[in-house]
Amino acid sequence: MSVSVRIPTILRTYTGGAAEVNAEGETLRDVLRKLDADFPGIGARILDDSGRIRRFVNVYVGEEDVRFADNLDTATPSGVQVSIIPAVAGG
């Protein structure tokens, strides 16, 4: 299943500056594996050492926050947009 992945500005150094890239996979886990294979190192910025989505990174499949769906097992139907959104802190 081909999906588009929106890349936040902070991670665009991994994608050569691309704001959106294509990846394939039936689940979010598959998409992130493909993303890391195509853009080495980006996966470590999204997933922690135990393979879970980092605490301060939000991931959406379509309009759905995967933390409230099936997390990494969330289905990624063809054509859906995956958005990676790091939390922003300020003071």
**Distance, CA of 48 to CA of 3 (rounded, Å):** 23
What per-residue confidence (pLDDT) applies to 90? 62
Beta strands 20-24 and 64-65: pairing type? Answer: unpaired
Whether 13 has a pLDDT exceeding 80, the answer reads: yes
In a domain, 91, yes or no: no
What per-residue confidence (pLDDT) applies to 1? 72
**Distance, CA of 55 to CA of 5 (rounded, Å):** 19
Percent of the chain with pLDDT over 70: 97
What per-residue confidence (pLDDT) applies to 88? 78
Instruction: List pLDDT tens digits, range 27-70.
Output: 999 999 999 999 999 999 999 999 999 999 999 999 999 999 99
| Polymer length of the chain | 91
Q: How many domains does the chain have?
A: 1
In a domain, 79, yes or no: yes
Residue 6's domain comprises 2-86
* Domain containing residue 18: CATH number: 3.10.20.30
In a domain, 52, yes or no: yes
Question: Order of strands, edge to edge, in the sheet holding 64-65?
Answer: 20-24, 2-6, 81-86, 57-61, 64-65
In a domain, 22, yes or no: yes
